[in-house]
Every structure is written in structure tokens, then in C-alpha cells.
Structure 1
Amino acid sequence: MVGGTMAAITVPMATDIAFAMAIYGFFRTRMPASASAFLLTLATVDDLGAIIVLATCFAGHISVPFLASAAAVTGALTLIGNKKVSNLPTFTIGGALLWWCLLCSGVNADIAGVITGLCISTGAEIKRDDGTSQSFAETIISYLSPLSTFGIMPLFALANTAVVLGGAAAAAAFAPAYGIGLGLLLGKPVGIAAFTLLAVKLGLATLPKGMTKRHVGIVGMLGGIGFTMCLLLTEVSLPASLQTIPKLAVLISSGVAAALGALAMSLLPKQTPTQPAAA
């Protein structure tokens, strides 16, 4: 498309986990229980892919010493995790140090949180006052999820959704905006559904219990809810002069995807333990 830019091709690849799961939560009684894990896994993999793209494709000048330092910190965190250490300050300090090393190395530092999280062992436990044990990872999630969902994400969305229309640059920004809109509203649902069903057809995977083609299609619609991650990719991949209209495209497309997903789920009958899923 004339006036377009290939840099925006990365923008629609992410799924906003919190918003997608929130929409799903309103209609969860109309979807099989397995759909929740399927959507959560899909959104997580999407976001991991987006963060990897941020860290690699949009890296600046690489500083080898700082990159080596980041690798050393990652190695240390991995060893600590393998010993099933359940000390939050240790991982907090290590994650902050890793973030600083990546920032100075020229690699996008957003991936530091992902790396730190992966270094935490799922077998690490903490002792409660009543003598019982609880997963260290689950404890961190329970503490940080409210802060992330009700604090960090709304602030991020508020700070990054300012849209000022007008000016010559706005016309040039329409080309990537069209691509972003089509990617979220058409590319994501079609891609998710097509490749999921193809994997099932080839015998590479099986549909989660209770899920049908219709449920896969609905999950694909919810996968088009980009919001915060897509806004972040827009800021990183496009120059400031071209960000206005693509941001608006992300907001509108994500809102439409959420509405379509909600409508599709509302038309399904409520699930019961003995009721077969709608075909």
C-alpha cells in the first residue's frame, strides 16, 4: 500500500491477556471450562512472541559487555531458580539488575520481566504460619496480579492512548492503520482458528475437552483484543509522527473484537456438567 511501512507488521501480533480474559469471564458459563486455559495459553504465547520481537527486531546499538552481563545475571537467576529458592527480594534485585543490563546493552528491556519469571521454579514453596506450604510462584501471582490489573495496566493504557487527529502526518499513518485493523479483526481470528483446526486435522494436537470449532472461532475473536501490548508495539515500531492513527486503529479494532467475541458468546447456551458443547 502506497505510503505504508512494514514496521507496523508486528503490531497486531499481541493479545491483551487481562482484557481478553475479562471479556471471557463475563460469559464463562456459556463456554467450556477448557476454553479458559486455551485462551490464557494463547494470549501468553502471543505476548511472549511480541516481547521477543521487541527485544530483537527493535534493538538499538548492541553493547557486548552489557549483553554479556545480562547473560551472566540470567545464568545466576537460573541457578537460583534450580535450587528452588523462594526469596522474593532475591528475584526482585536480580530482575532489576537484568533490566538495567539489557537497557544499557541496546536490547529492549521489557523482556527482563519475562526472563526473571521463567527463572522462578514452579517447585519452590514457602511456609505459611499454619505450617502448610504454598507455591512460591502462585504467591507472587496473587500479590502482583491486582497491582498489574488495576494499577499498572490502566496507567499504561491511559498514558499511551492519547490520539490527536490532524496534520499531514496523519494521512501517511492511515496505511499502517488499515493493516493493523485488518490484522486484529481478520488476521488474528482466521489465523488462530485455521492453524488450530489444521493441527487437529493433521493429528498434531487435539481440541481441549468440550471445545468445538465454534468455540475455537470465538477464542480467535478474543485474540484480536490487542490494547496495551499493541499500543506498546506501535510506540516502539513506528516513528512518533505516524503513531496517532495506528493507535486509534488498535483501540477501535480491539473494541470491535471484544464486542464481536462477547456477542458470539452471548448467543451460546449456558454450559452444564452433562450438556454437550454446541457444535
Structure 2
Amino acid sequence: MNASRLFREFFESEKAGGLLLLLVTLLSLTLANSPIQSGYIGFWETPIGHHSITHWINDGLMTIFFLLIGLELERELYGGELSNIKNATLPIFGALGGMAVPAGIFLAFNFGTLTQNGAGIPMATDIAFAIGILSLLGNRVPTSLKIFLTALAVIDDLGAILVIAIFYTETISFLYLGLAFSILGGLFILNRRNVHNLIPYLIGGGLMWYCMLNSGVHATITGVLLAFIIPYGDGGKKTSSYRLQHALHRPVAFVILPLFAIANTCIAIDNNWQEGLAHANSIGIIAGLVLGKPIGILLFAFICVKLGIGSLPKDLQWKQILGAGMLGGIGFTMSIFITLLAFKNDGEDVITYSKIAILVASFVSGTLGFLWLKMSLKK
């Protein structure tokens, strides 16, 4: 398998971005539990217009993150690993297992309770953190494993986006939703007429985001829809899709995701924080990410190969797929994002305990995945 230049660039930016996420998370947790706690936490709740700084980051800047994810998914579908159905089926099945099994484990602990709405939390994989940890193993990591984990995480993100759109939308304004899709239709016409200038697409995307924000459907969905409307062409360096994806890599990896991490991990941890881990919700999150992810990814990938639908790359073994599954248990960004949507009406305590559970599960998954792959990959 040959990784394209854009894939290598994406991998390198995610690698450095993952390490930066780790540093800013530790910094944010430290400041949130320091003498400047109240001022630090209060800063992120400062209102700008009708929303707090955190809200603008989560609903505004994260739309750009989803735009990049959409562009990456589009590239994978047209010219990458997912363009060949035989190659695509393995990460697709792995991602499906990595979503279904963790959600099932969570519901086993929470079905029929007030927290059952959090089933989407352990379904997510943080692509930046997962690739960041994988990169620490250096050149012993085969390209096929990098591509498998990246494709798996991208498909996983698409699944998380669908979960957000379907299960975490409460009330819908059909007027604004209709306006949003009318704008999308107009941009589609520009695409069909071979308009490659990015400016009308970005202006239309901004208007579509505003309509989506007021429609009740989560505004970040705009990013993915816009990604598939921007002309892909032959995928070359001069195409609109390539230029935008290239331009977004570093701002997303080094500005947007770190800001999201800082704003959403300023958690005041009290002396009894570990008691929150005993709640069914926290147990479901931790078990779903730490156990459900590797079990689901390995099991579904194995079924895929045994049925003859897909094939295991020649330079990989099942124990390395299991290691990738362990790294898939690093939920972080998307898991926290879904937590905010799932429990926004259930009080700060539930959100705080969920975030702590996500941090614990992500740390355990990342550590286990790193150690397992370090032992199973040749130097």
C-alpha cells in the first residue's frame, strides 16, 4: 500500500496535533484545579452575543474540524483506501464493530435509566490522539496499519456525525432546515457547472451554518455536507478540494482541536471524584471504550475476512488489529462532544463525571494500545 503525499501530510499533522492535545489537556486540568480555578473556568463561560466562548468553539470552530473530516473521507472514497471495495471493507467492518459493541456495553449498564441517552459516547474514536500515540512507535509501524487506523477513525467519525444528526436533535425548525438545504442545492448547482472558486462555497457554507444552527440540527453537520459539495475533480494539487484540505490541516490540528480540548477539559475535580466512576454511566463509558472498542473492531474485522468480503493486509497480523482497536478506545474529542449533546439537560455533575470517565478510559486505552503494539511490532 502506498500512502499519498496528502495522506502522509495528514498523518504528520495529526501526529503532532495528538501530542499537543495531550499537553493542553494536562494544562487545562491543572489550571482548573489551581488557585485561579474560578477565574479560569469562568473565562470559558464568558458570553459573546447569546452564547459562551465554549459554545462558539463547540458549534462554530468544530464545524471547520468536521469540514476537514468530510474532505478526508471524500478523498478516501474517491482515491484512497476506501475507493477499493476489497480494501475498504476491513476498516468499514472494524468501524461498525467499534461502534456497535461499545454502544451495546453502555446500554447493558444504562438501559432504562436517565443516562441511556449517552450510548453514543463510547462509539467515538479521537483520530488525532489515536494517530499521535501510534506515531510514538516510529518506523516500526507498517503503512498498512496507519492506513487501517486512519480509515477506521474517519469512518468512525462519520458514524458519530450520523448519531449526532439522528439521535441528538430535539426540535427542528423546518423553515431554517429548508433554507439550509436550499443553499446546499444552490452550491450543488455551482459544483455541476464546474465552478471551482472556493469563495462562493465558503460564503454559502457560512450561510448554511447559520440556518443549520437555528434549525435545531447540530450546526457542525454543515461541515460534512459542505465537504462533499466542494469540487473534487481529479483530486490533484490544483483542485478546490485538495487546496482547502491542505489549508485546513494545520489550523485544525494546532488551533481548533487544542482550543476545544482546553475549553472542554477545564474540569474542577473534587476530592470525591472517584465516586463518580462508580456510576452506571461512567462504568458504561469506560467499559465501552476500553473493552468494547478492541473487541468490536477485532471481532467484526475477523468476520469480514472469514466471510471473504475483505482481506487482511499481508504485512499485518490479528494481534496488530487488536492493538489498533485498543487505540480506537481513545474517545476524547468526539466522546466529549457527544457528552455535551447527550446530557445538556441533565446537569453539570453528569457531564463532569462523564468527562472524567472519558479521560480515564482514553488514558487506559492509549497506554494499553501503545504497550501492546510495542510488543507485537518488529523494530
TM-score interval, smaller chain: 0.7 to 0.9
Instruction: String of CA shifts for 1:23-56, please: whole Å, max 9, x gaps.
Output: 1122252222111111111111111111121122
Considering fraction of residues, name the structure with more helix: 2
How far has the Cα of 1:63 moved from its partner? 1.1
Q: Is the 8 A contact 1:15 1:230 kept in 2?
A: yes
Q: Residue deviations 1:144-186, cap 9 Å, x none?
A: 1111111010110110012234599975982211100111100
Q: 1:39 to 1:172 in 2, by over 3 A?
A: closer
Larger mean Cα displacement after TM superposition, 249-258 or 88-97: 88-97
Comparing 107-116 and 49-58, the one that deviates more: 49-58
Any residues of structure 2 matched to 1:154-193 within 5 Å, and which? 154-166=258-270, 174-193=279-298
Q: Which residue of 2 aligns with 1:224?
A: 329
Asked if the contact 2:294/2:325 (under 8 Å) is kept, the reply is yes
Written as runs of structure 1 = structure 2, the 5 A alignment for 1:112-127 is 112-123=222-233
TM-score normalised per structure 2: 0.65
Map of 1:1-279 to 2, 5 A cutoff?
1=109, 5-123=115-233, 134-166=238-270, 174-238=279-343, 239-241=346-348, 242-270=350-378
After superposition, the Cα gap between the structure-2 partners of 1:210 and 1:135, relative to the gap in structure 1 and judged at 3 Å, is farther
Question: Matched residues in 1 for 2:193 and 2:325: separation?
Answer: 39
The CA deviation string for residues 78-112 of structure 1, in whole angstroms up to 9 with x for no partner, is: 23334443322222112111111111111111111
Q: Which runs of 5+ in 2 are unaligned?
A: 1-108
**What is the CA distance between 1:68 and its match in structure 2?**
1.2
Q: Which residue of 1 aligns with 2:5?
A: none
Q: Which amino acid aligns with 1:258?
A: G
Structure 1 distance, partners of 2:163, 2:115, is 17
Question: Unaligned regions of 5+ residues in structure 1, if any?
Answer: 127-132, 272-279
Q: Secondary structure at the match of 2:357?
A: helix
CA pair 186-139 structure 1, distance change in 2 beyond 3 A:
same
Count of residue pairs brought into register by the alignment: 265
Instruction: Give the partner amino acid of 1:45.
Output: I
> Percent identity of the aligned residues?
38
Contact 1:84 1:120 in 2 (8 A): no
Q: Which amino acid aligns with 2:251?
A: L
Secondary structure (helix, strand or coil) at the match of 2:376 reads coil
Aligned residue in 2 for 1:130: none
- Please give the alpha-carbon distance, in whole angstroms, between the structure 2 residues aligned to 1:183 and 1:44: 19
Task: Report SS of the residue matched to 2:238.
Answer: strand
Matched letter for residue 43 of structure 1? A
In structure 2, do the counterparts of structure 1 residues 173 and 84 end up closer, same or farther at CA, with 3 Å as the change threshold?
farther
Indicate conservation of the 8 Å contact 1:17/1:40, yes or no: yes
Question: CA separation in 1, counterparts of 2:288 and 2:132?
Answer: 22
Q: Deviations over 1:192-231 (max 9, x none)?
A: 1100110110111112342221121111111111111111
TM-score normalised by the chain length of structure 1 = 0.87
2:360 counterpart SS class: helix
